[in-house]
Structure 1
């Protein structure tokens, strides 16, 4: 790895250990084994590096979920929906630090100037990625729905994982909502 990749890896470790607000440039440089100046050279600022690390971690998460779902790619939509949500909720355990950082950033956007714009720029990609993951490629509208559901699931899981719905629960609830809407 070069300095740029080392910095992203170091920033990711610091995010998971200290969170967004408490991570300093010195923390990252130390974790990456590079000079402080390398942050400015490669990213312009510590916040830009932290943002890059978050987005890279989310992309890796998406790829991980996609690989895990290869077996259900040809499943009917309901089975796929349930399988995707089961895998997503599993990731709340295996990647808890990533989700905690995401929640920290979203709840404190006003304290991180410039982060909101960076986050919003990634939303369109995230929505399309979620739509693809659920078998509805190109649907930003459904991607926004999945993103909303993901945020709600995350809040429930972070506060009370034992009572958060499972993939199976969500699939059943969606069926009930659809039945109500169809009247």
Structure 2
């Protein structure tokens, strides 16, 4: 790896260990084995590097929790939407203990949005891409085939993901399981009333 990649890997480690606000340029240099001038040369600023490192961490997490279509369906028959939804949530929730640092980092980044326009701008496009990925992973809706449905389903899934994330961080004993979420969605779709 060259300095550029070393810096990115070092920044990712620092974000997971220290968080966004507490990571200094010197921390990144120490974690990457590079020098301070490399940050400016390769990324322009520490903030630009941290923003990219955060995006890469969330992309890597997304890749780890993506459920391949052939894991859920029955051979050539695609999975039923609720089966896809449950399988996706099983992976997300199953990743919780290994991903807690990423979830904490996401909460910190959200808390910085109002005071950091550069961060907000850096996240705008990737957030839309992430929603499209959620729609496809959680309910099998391909963004290319049906962009508007993928957009609104992505919004729904992102809202649900953030809520579930907070519940797991606060009290994992009472947080929802994948089956709880699937049963809840099914009840909403069926319009059950007491």
Answer whether TM exceeds 0.5 for this pair: yes
Pairwise CA distance, 1:80: 1.1
What do the CA deviations read for 1:65-104 (whole angstroms, capped 9, x no partner)?
2267751154221111001011111222111111110111
Q: Which residue of 2 aligns with 1:51?
A: 51
After superposing on structure 2, the runs of 4+ consecutive aligned residues of structure 1 that deviate more than 6 Å are: none
Quick check: 1:69–1:84 contact (8 Å CA) kept in 2? no
Quick check: 1:51–1:118 contact (8 Å CA) kept in 2? yes
Aligned residues: 182
Pairwise CA distance, 1:18: 0.5
Q: Which residue of 1 aligns with 2:147?
A: none
Gaps of 5+ in 2: 144-149
| C-alpha spacing 1:46/1:69, structure 2 compared with 1 (3 Å) | farther
User: How far apart, CA to CA, are the structure 1 residues paired with 2:53 and 2:120?
Assistant: 15
Please list, as runs of the form range in 1=range in 2, the aligned pairs for 1:129-144 lying within 5 A after superposition. Answer: 129-134=133-138, 135-138=140-143, 139-144=150-155
Q: Which residue of 2 aligns with 1:112?
A: 116
| C-alpha spacing 1:11/1:80, structure 2 compared with 1 (3 Å) | same
Gaps of 5+ in 1: none
User: How far apart, CA to CA, are the structure 1 residues paired with 2:66 and 2:151?
Assistant: 18
Worse-matched range after superposition: 117-126 or 34-43: 117-126
Classify the secondary structure of the residue corresponding to 1:21: coil
Quick check: 1:127–1:144 contact (8 Å CA) kept in 2? yes
Pairwise CA distance, 1:112: 2.8
Calculate the TM-score normalised by the size of structure 1: 0.93
Q: Which residue of 1 aligns with 2:81?
A: 77
Quick check: 1:127–1:143 contact (8 Å CA) kept in 2? yes
